[in-house]
Copies of this chain bind each other. A is one copy, B any other.
Amino acid sequence: MNDIFLRACQGRKTDYTPVWLMRQAGRYMPEYQKIRAKVDFLTLCKTPELATEVTLQPVDILNVDAAILFSDILVPLEPMGMQLEFTEQKGPVFHNPVRTSADVHALRAIDSQADVPYVLQAIRLLKQSLKVPLIGFSGAPFTLATYMIEGGSSKNFLHTKRMMYQSPELFQSLMKLVSGVVTDYLLAQIRSGVDTVQIFDSWVGALSPHDFERFALPYVQEIIRALRASERQVPIIYFAFNSSGMMEQVRKAGADVYGLDWRIEIAKAVDLLDRNHVVQGNLDPCALFGTRETIYAEARRILEGARYAPNHIFNLGHGILPETPVDNAKTMVEAVHEISLKAL
Task: Tell me, yes or no, whether A307 is within 8 Å of chain B by CB.
Answer: no
Pick the contact of A156 from B205, B211, B265, B285 — CB < 8 Å? B285
Q: Determine the chain B residues whose CB is within 8 A of the CB of A243 once the complex forms.
A: 263
Q: Determine the chain B residues whose CB is within 8 A of the CB of A165 once the complex forms.
A: 286-287, 289-291, 294
Copies in the complex: 2
User: Given contacts A205-B263, A244-B245, A265-B209, are A161 and B286 in contact (CB under 8 A)?
Assistant: yes
Q: Assess the B265–A242 pair: CB atoms within 8 A.
A: no
Interface residues of A in 289-337 (CB under 8 A from B): 289-291, 294, 301, 317, 321, 323
Q: Using CB atoms, name the residue of chain B closest to A294.
A: B165
Q: Chain A interface mostly helix, strand, loop or mixed?
A: helix
Pick the contact of A158 from B158, B246, B263, B286 — CB < 8 Å? B286
Kindly list the 10 A-B residue pairs having the minimum CB-CB distance in the complex, ordered from nearest: A244-B245, A165-B290, A245-B264, A161-B286, A208-B262, A245-B263, A162-B289, A165-B294, A209-B265, A208-B284
Further pairs besides A208-B265, A209-B263, A242-B242: 8, Cβ < 8 Å: A156-B285, A156-B321, A158-B286, A161-B286, A161-B289, A165-B294, A210-B265, A245-B264
Q: Using CB atoms, name the residue of chain B closest to A291.
A: B166
Q: Determine the chain B residues whose CB is within 8 A of the CB of A41 once the complex forms.
A: none
Q: Using CB atoms, name the residue of chain B closest to A212.
A: B263
Q: How far is the CA of A221 from the CA of B291 in the complex (A)?
A: 28
Q: How far is the CA of A158 from the CA of B294 in the complex (A)?
A: 15
Question: What total of chain A residues lie within 8 Å of the partner, measured CB to CB?
Answer: 38
User: Given contacts A158-B321, A161-B289, A286-B162, are A301 and B264 in contact (CB under 8 A)?
Assistant: no
Task: Tell me, yes or no, whether A118 is within 8 Å of chain B by CB.
Answer: no
Q: How far is the CA of A165 from the CA of B317 in the complex (A)?
A: 17
Task: Tell me, yes or no, whether A157 is within 8 Å of chain B by CB.
Answer: yes
5 A–B pairs (Cβ distance < 8 Å), ordered by A: A156-B285, A158-B321, A162-B286, A166-B289, A210-B265
Q: How far is the CA of A133 from the CA of B125 in the complex (A)?
A: 68
Q: Using CB atoms, name the residue of chain B closest to A293.
A: B165
